[in-house]
């Protein structure tokens, strides 16, 4: 078996990447191309494992600098990671008829171990009971769980929003009913907007508001080109639900849609209107849209689980395995690995 590496998703045959992406629009080749364009200084690598001419595995990894922007020219901060900060989930696939998981990662380790990096991160095992592969113990990887994701799975019997609300606890059901009932008196309205570019001058500052206040998952703001890239690549499978008071837009949620999944990818909020429950209103409108379009799965992302739990969301851990390249540093400094993510 041997590896062949590509350095852009556009170089990789789409049928190969489809083995990883499946129905997840936020792991699709189109989405990966947008992410690549966001980080021109990072290295993106798509390694394909062949047995003669047969594709038996594929894995994506990026190399980025974890140091602050003022220190990025120093190579000592480079981290190799099987994923990006804009995506989550397994960025790899292997054919179990040809190779075991342990042997697949062992071959991947032989490919990357000599890279000039500070640390290696293999992510994401999205599950609450993670079966730890012996590969990670053999090579002294640390098991870390820096994040979790929230999912809502709608029942087939859920035909409208009232059906959904009935599944909540009485306390939370009454809260959401009160929020929805108050909309007329508060002059609140919602609209779907597909022309993101046209509205970006209003939406982007609202997104920056949320990004600045992030606590659980802090990251530099995504540039405005990300929004226009999504509109260009996904068309009507990417749109915003915008919340307005009178003629003023006070919040939005950007939704990316797959065959049986919607992903409310990010939000924007005008925090001067906290009393209007902008987050709750936008989130329940996402649920309404999923019900009306008969989509079963809602991926609510990485943060605010306590709020999402009230809607019936389930928490699923994002397991990662990481180690410093240097064995001595790895032995004594493993506790710092989560700081890189």
pLDDT tens digit sequence for 271-297: 999 999 999 999 999 999 999 999 999
Closest C-alpha among 125, 174, 187 to residue 320: 125
Alpha-carbon distance of 75 to 318, in angstroms, equals: 28
Statement: the pTM of the whole predicted model exceeds 0.85 = yes
First to last CA, the chain: 32
- Phi and psi for 92 in degrees, rounded to 5? -155, 165
* pLDDT greater than 70 at residue 220: yes
Q: What pLDDT does residue 334 have?
A: 82
Alpha-carbon distance of 153 to 184, in angstroms, equals: 29
Whose structure tokens read 């997104």? 207
Residues 6+ apart with CB under 8 A from 217: 147, 302, 303
Query: What is the residue-averaged pLDDT of the chain?
Result: 92
pLDDT tens digit sequence for 19-49: 999 889 999 999 999 999 999 989 999 999 9
pLDDT tens digit sequence for 177-217: 999 999 999 999 999 999 999 999 999 999 999 999 887 77
Whether 62 and 43 have beta carbons less than 8 Å apart is answered as yes
Q: What pLDDT does residue 165 have?
A: 95
Cis peptide before 85, with omega less than 30 degrees from 0? no
């Amino acid at each position: 078996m041997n590896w062949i590496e590509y350095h852009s998703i556009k170089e990789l045959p789409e049928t190969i990447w489809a083995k990883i992406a499946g129905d997840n629009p936020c792991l699709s080749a189109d989405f990966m191309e947008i992410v690549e364009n966001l980080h021109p200084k990072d290295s993106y690598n798509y390694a394909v494992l062949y047995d003669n001419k047969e594709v038996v595995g594929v894995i994506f990894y990026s190399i980025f600098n974890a140091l602050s922007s003022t220190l990025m020219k120093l190579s000592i901060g480079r981290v190799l990671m099987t994923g990006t900060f804009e995506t989550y989930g397994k960025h790899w696939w292997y054919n179990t008829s040809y190779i075991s998981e342990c042997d697949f990662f062992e071959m991947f380790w032989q490919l990357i171990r000599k890279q000039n990096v500070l640390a290696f991160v293999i992510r994401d095992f999205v599950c609450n009971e993670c079966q730890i592969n012996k590969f990670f113990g053999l090579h002294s990887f640390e098991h870390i769980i820096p994040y979790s994701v929230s999912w809502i799975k709608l029942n087939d019997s859920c035909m409208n929003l009232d059906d959904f609300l009935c599944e909540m606890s009485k306390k939370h059901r009454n809260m959401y009913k009160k929020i929805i009932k108050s909309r007329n008196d508060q002059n609140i309205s919602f609209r779907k907007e597909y022309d993101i570019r046209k509205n970006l001058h209003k939406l982007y500052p609202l997104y920056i508001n949320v990004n600045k206040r992030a606590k659980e998952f802090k990251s530099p703001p995504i540039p405005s080109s990300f929004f226009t890239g999504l509109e260009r690549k996904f068309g009507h499978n990417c749109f915003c639900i915008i919340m307005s008071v009178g003629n003023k837009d006070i919040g939005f949620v950007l939704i990316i849609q797959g065959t049986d999944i919607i992903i409310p990818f990010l939000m924007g909020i005008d925090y001067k209107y906290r009393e209007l429950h902008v987050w709750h209103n936008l989130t329940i409108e996402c649920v309404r849209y999923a019900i009306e379009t008969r989509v079963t799965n809602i991926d609510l992302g990485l943060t605010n689980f306590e709020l999402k739990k009230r809607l019936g969301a389930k928490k699923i851990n994002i397991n990662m395995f990481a180690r410093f390249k240097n064995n001595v540093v790895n032995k004594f400094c493993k506790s710092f690995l989560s700081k890189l993510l």
